[in-house]
Amino acid sequence: MLDDSRAKALTANRFKHWCIHKERSCRTDDTSFCDGCCGSLAKLGREKKHLESASLLLTQGVKAAQHPFSISSITGGGSGRSQAPSHSYQFLQRSRQTFISHQGCGCSRRMKRLWCLLSISSLALSYAVGGDVCVSGHDSGPVFEEQPSSLIYPEGMPEGKVTLSCQARASPATIYRWRVNGTEVVIGEDSHYTLVAGNLVINNPQHGRDGGSYQCLAFNRCGTIVSRVATLKFGYLRDFPPESRSPQTVHEGTGTFLACQPPAHYPALSYRWFINEFPSFIQPEDGRWFVSQVTGNLYLANARANDTGNYFCFTTINMDISTKSIFSKAVQLTVYSDANPRKSAPNIRVRFPAETYALTGHTTQLECFAYGNPIPKTRWRKVDGVLPPKVAIVDGPILIIPELNFEDEGMYECEVYNSEGRETHQGRISVQAQPEWLQVMSDSEVEISSELQWSCAAAGKPRPTIRWLRNGQPLSTQDRVEVNNGRLMIGNLALDDSGMYQCVAENKHGTIYSNAELRVQVQAPDFRLNPVRKLLPSARGGQVKMECKPRAAPKPTLFWSRGTELLTNSTRITVTPDGMLWIYNISRADEGKYTCFAENYLGKANSTGHLSVRDATKITLAPSNADINKGENATLQCHSSHDPTMDLTFTWSINGVLLDLEEPNGHYRRIEGKETIGDLVIVNGQLSHAGTYTCTAQTVVDSAVASARLVVRGPPGAPGGLVVTSVNDTSIELRWSRGYDNHSPIGKYVIMGRSVHTHDWKRMRTDPLNIEGNAESARVMDLRPWMDYEFLVIASNILGSGEPSMPCQPVRTKQAAPTVAPSGLGGGGGNRNELIITWTPMAREYQNGDGFGYILAFRKQGLPTWTVVRVPHVESSRYVYTNETLSAYCPFEVRIKAYNKKGEGPFSQIAVVHSAEEEPTTSPRRINATALTAFEIQVSWEPIQHLSINGVLRGYEIRYWRQHEREAAADRVRTAGLETTARVTGLRPNTLYHIIVLAYNSAGTGPPSPRTTVITKKPPPNRPPGNISWKVDGSWVTVRWDHVKSMDNESAVLGYKVLYKHEGQSALKILDKGKTSINLPLPKDNGYVVLEIRSWGDGGDGAAHETIVSRDSGTGMMVQNTAGTSDPLSTTILILTALPLILIGSSGL
């Protein structure tokens, strides 16, 4: 039952109208509603007592409808004056249905009217019960907030469950039902289905039982809507067969593939391969490997010997709630080694389909992979357009296009190439789309007996079809309903047309739903929600509009009165059909009360408002037209008078757009002053500020306006319509239309251009050189042939240069023969009997045309005849000429030029290139090795003869090894250039070394020299000088130390080295032979001297001792040696590398 009194009153009102409408039909000859049959009447006669009870029920039902608070009295739910027996109510319902189901018999009008009234009472009972009445403004039909989504469930997962979501908001609360494959789902204790707040839970899903299409139905007493269809599918991945796979063999340099042969599965798999053991996955970065995500096969562009191994196909399946991976049995691949692998042109083995269908918003991939040696490179292009910037990979075997749209449709080409050739493959991407709404329905409240029109439109490819549902059931054209694809029309609306409607658009890629609620309204006129305005002030001499908009259905009759006077149309008064009252040229005499009356056959209502007349607002000082240059200020004046009892405000607009005068740092300011002054200041005027400014002085009752025009002079606007009218190989003709001159004549134009390979715009040379302001075309000169260009035009006047035009569409100049020769011509090196010629590939901007390649001419130096070859690939940068008769390092004269389909370009300057070098054929002579210290030797030799070098001598290689070691373990030192002596360091003391010397060039080393030997000297003493003492005498210091005595296994001491440094001064060098003391000058201030003393001899430098001496230190002695050994002092020596060297010795100094 309905609790809300307003809801009850509205229900009664609707019922009252329905009764009136149907009784009127029965009182006429219109028997479309009241047809019955004589058989039904006979049956009724046999149940006369029920007819009497039904009549009583009818009477009480009508009264209950008119007095909604007593509705319960006819339903047995309250303490009314009488209660209808339930069997009479059931009889009434059953008889009405029996009558309606039989038609065609001839019955008297009296009997038909009886059945009509019985039908009325049946509806009365429905309204009285209140369970199926949707109350306007109180109830609302379902609106989906969450709908089910398709999912893939792992087949065989134990004790699992699937939840299909369905949530809708509604008042009263939504009730839910579900369908699977068109059949209603049974929810019960013995069912594996559970309903949880609208969501359908499927317990322990099974493939054969639960797979299919699911749809949620959400309903309440306002109607029913259906959700989108969600599919439940079961995913699976079977095991690879247990049988071993056949081994494969391939020769080095040859391409091959290994088949994955995945087991049965759903949905699609992703593929990887690993070698020998998990997880040593193949990494395809070097371009030799490729794993197809279509077939799962592993492709190898060219095999290498180290590719031999066992390969496993690793597959992964991703489902909504789980992931599964398996791998195959091993495929053994054996690569037969080849000392000289055969080179081959690309051979495409993985091709994308000739036609690929893809959906907008999705990502699509094209695969293209080729065998070949060297490794082919892949380049992609769009044949009928330009590759979109969003393309992820454009130089690999996979082209990835994310977020596909219709602009991406077209023909795509992959080109694979290497130095041996090229191959291309083309295929088309056809873009299709799921349905997408262009126009949707919206809820409608329509008065009874009127007409409803709803439209919806959807885009998609293929074009979607549209169908309609009412409360979840299909709608078709019949009686008052007309369905025409995206248009639904219902005429002569009745109350039972209310409900939930859905427009459904679908194609093979998907289905979408648009929902709306229709409420058919029936109501007596009511002004409570929208009364006539109580007080309506207006200006004298102006006009006023008084609105009359009561709620009513069907549409009421409206009329106005002033007092007791009925108002009709006159010269000063107009009453419109929709109830608006207009009064023109208002005077004080028009003040007073005005009443609007509304009436339909359900009732009457009225509402009254008061009209008050005030003084009019006027502009007393209007703004004047102004003219400024860009960047200047302008002031527009505006003064007004108004009724003193009301507030006055000023607003300004430009070209009808209201200005925001409060914007921080804006260009507009209001001058603060009297209330009647509203002047506007334009600060730093720009071209965009030009236009018509309107000042509006406004009160609550009227307004006055005045306008003025502001002209802003500035640089010209952008030229428009830039197009290319003619093209040749080095120039193009441009045409444009003049832009706005911004009130200053255009003086000249400048054309800017850029190629597609550059980002910066630059001024182009034109014909004429200076383009005058009245010109609208010019020719751009000095362009490169077969090059894509963009151009734009900039106009200027005495106030500066304007905005550039939009760039024209990219244009390509015509082809021409090359005009420049390739650069970087050189070469050399390689294997025996080879001549290698290299050059820098020509950039795209110098190719001048398609079919580009290179022509090489070479000859032995001194011979008249040239050998000419063609290299047909633009990416080529080397050519190898092989001839068994070629001698080593033979000089050739080489030149190169470019060619294309239009012809050949000029030859380059001649360059001299030598054939491949060979190892030197002779060895150095007179090898001499001398020990310098215990750790260093010096080796010298005589150079080899020039003719035996067989190339360019790079230097000499010294090999040395200790006695009792094998020559194969020798250490090596190389010299650079033509040096004939070298020092070898890092040797062991007092050790015999064997030494040989070899010449080398880029081909390798020549024969070794005769062997010689050398013994390194004994090592220097391992103890530093001890008992260091010093004495300061004025500005000098005398330092003394004990003599270092060498051991038997150490070299004799020949003298001492003193390294020292004054604080803050540059280093000094002092020599003093054969002494164990030294005199050193001290700094003039209180600085210090850092000393480092060590012995030296044939074996090299001994261990060092460090001390610091200052002016104020007097006499001192350091008895104990803190250095100990040379190793701890090595760090100190590194720190003091800037110290000067002092040698004190008895000989050799």
Q: What is the pLDDT of residues 500-516, one digit of tens each?
A: 999 999 999 999 999 99
pLDDT at residue number 748: 96
pLDDT at residue 45 in the model? 40
Could you tell me if 897 and 863 are in contact, meaning their C-beta atoms sit under 8 angstroms apart? no
Q: How far apart are CA 379 and CA 396, in angstroms?
A: 7
**C-alpha distances in Å from residue 782, one per residue of 417, 765, 772, 842, 847:** 33, 7, 20, 19, 15
Range 486-498 burial, b when 16+ CB lie within 10 A, else e: bebebeebebebb
Q: What is the pLDDT of residue 1029?
A: 87
Spatial separation of the C-alpha atoms in residues 275 and 839, rounded to whole Å: 40
pLDDT computed for residue 1109 by the predictor: 79
* 420/397 Cα distance (integer angstroms): 19
Q: Which of 830, 733, 829 has its CA nearest to residue 781?
A: 733
The arithmetic mean of pLDDT across residues 195-219, rounded, is 93
Is the Cβ–Cβ distance between 848 and 783 less than 8 Å? no
pLDDT top residue among 1044 and 1063:
1044
Residue 1039, pLDDT above cutoff 90: no
More confident residue, 712 or 123: 712
Kindly state the DSSP code that residue 292 receives in the 8-state scheme. -
825 CB-side CA count, 13 A = 22
Percent of the chain with pLDDT over 70: 83
Say whether pLDDT at 2 is over 80: no
pLDDT at 116: 46
Cβ(837)–Cβ(856) below 8 Å? yes
pLDDT on residue 840: 95
In the predicted model, is pLDDT for residue 1004 greater than 70? yes
Mean predicted confidence (pLDDT) in 430-451: 94
- 18's enclosing H/E stretch is helix 5-26
- Report yes or no: 408 and 431 within 8 Å, Cβ to Cβ: yes
What separation, in Å, do the N-terminal and C-terminal C-alpha atoms of the chain show? 127
pLDDT reported for residue 1113:
58
pLDDT of residue 440: 95
Distance CA 202, CA 230 (A): 14
pLDDT at res. 1095: 86
Angle subtended by helix axes 48-66 and 5-26, to nearest 10: 130
Q: What is the mean pLDDT of the chain?
A: 84
Question: What is d(CA 1066, CA 1021) in angstroms, rounded to the nearest whole number?
Answer: 30
- Cα distances (Å, whole numbers) of residue 371 to 299, 300, 367, 979: 8, 7, 14, 49
Stretch 362-390: mean pLDDT: 91
Q: d(Cα 595, Cα 605) in Å, to the nearest integer?
A: 10
Exposure string for 544-575, b = 16+ CB within 10 A, e = fewer? bebebbbbbbbebebbbebeeeebeeeeeebb
Decide which of 609 and 1115 is more confident. Answer: 609
Amino acid at 21: H
pLDDT digits (tens, 9 = 90+) for 745-755: 999 999 999 99
Backbone φ and ψ for 845, nearest 5 degrees, come out as -70, -15
For residue 76, is pLDDT > 70? Answer: no
Output the pLDDT for position 654. 96
Mean pLDDT calculated for residue range 1034-1038:
82
The alpha helices in 988-1053, defined as continuous H runs, are none
Instruction: For each of the domains in the chain, give its residue range(s) and CATH number, in order of start.
Output: 5-129 (no CATH), 140-235 (2.60.40.10), 238-342 (2.60.40.10), 343-419 (2.60.40.10), 433-521 (2.60.40.10), 523-614 (2.60.40.10), 618-713 (2.60.40.10), 720-812 (2.60.40.10), 826-914 (2.60.40.10), 925-1015 (2.60.40.10), 1028-1145 (2.60.40.10)
Average pLDDT over residues 950-964: 91
What radius of gyration do the chain's Cα atoms show?
52
d(CA 390, CA 407): 12
Of residues 204 and 1088, which shows the higher confidence score? 204
Please report which confidence band the pLDDT of residue 1127 belongs to, taking 50, 70 and 90 as the band edges: very low
Q: What is the pLDDT of residue 332?
A: 94
* Confidence (pLDDT) at 394: 59
Q: Of 499, 507, 496, nearest to 454 (Cα)? A: 499
Minimum mean pLDDT range among 104-113, 135-144, 444-453, 877-886: 104-113
Half-sphere exposure of 1014 (CA within 13 A, CB side): 26
User: Which pLDDT does position 29 carry in this prediction?
Assistant: 40
pLDDT of residue 533: 92
Question: What is the SS3 assignment for 11?
Answer: helix
Distance of CA 501 to the CA centre of its chain: 38
CA 61 to mean position of chain CA atoms: 66
Q: Is the pLDDT of residue 1015 over 50?
A: yes
The secondary element (H helix, E strand) that includes residue 1095 is strand 1088-1097
d(CA 3, CA 1097): 121
pLDDT of 1013 reads 94
Sheet with 544-546, side-by-side order of all strands = 544-546, 581-583, 573-575
- pLDDT for residue 77 is more than 70: no
Whether residue 1137 has pLDDT greater than 80: no
How confident is residue 832, by pLDDT bands cut at 50, 70 and 90?
A: confident
> Which 3 state secondary structure label does DSSP give 956?
strand
pLDDT digits (tens, 9 = 90+) for 905-922: 999 999 999 999 988 989
| Mean per-residue pLDDT, 1123-1136 | 33
Give pLDDT, residue 1071: 53
Placement of tokens 């040797």 in the chain: 987
Answer whether 289's CB lies under 8 Å from 266's CB: no
In this predicted structure, the answer to whether residue 778 has a pLDDT above a threshold of 60 is yes
Residue 312: closest CA among 240, 379, 369, 377: 240
pLDDT of 383 > 70? The answer is yes
Nearest to 121 by CA among 80, 91, 98: 91
Peptide bond between residue 818 and the one before it cis (omega within 30 degrees of 0): no
How far does CA 804 lie from the centroid of its chain? Answer: 29
Q: How confident is the model at residue 159 (pLDDT cuts 50, 70, 90)?
A: confident
**Which band of pLDDT confidence, cut at 50, 70 and 90, is reported for residue 160?**
confident
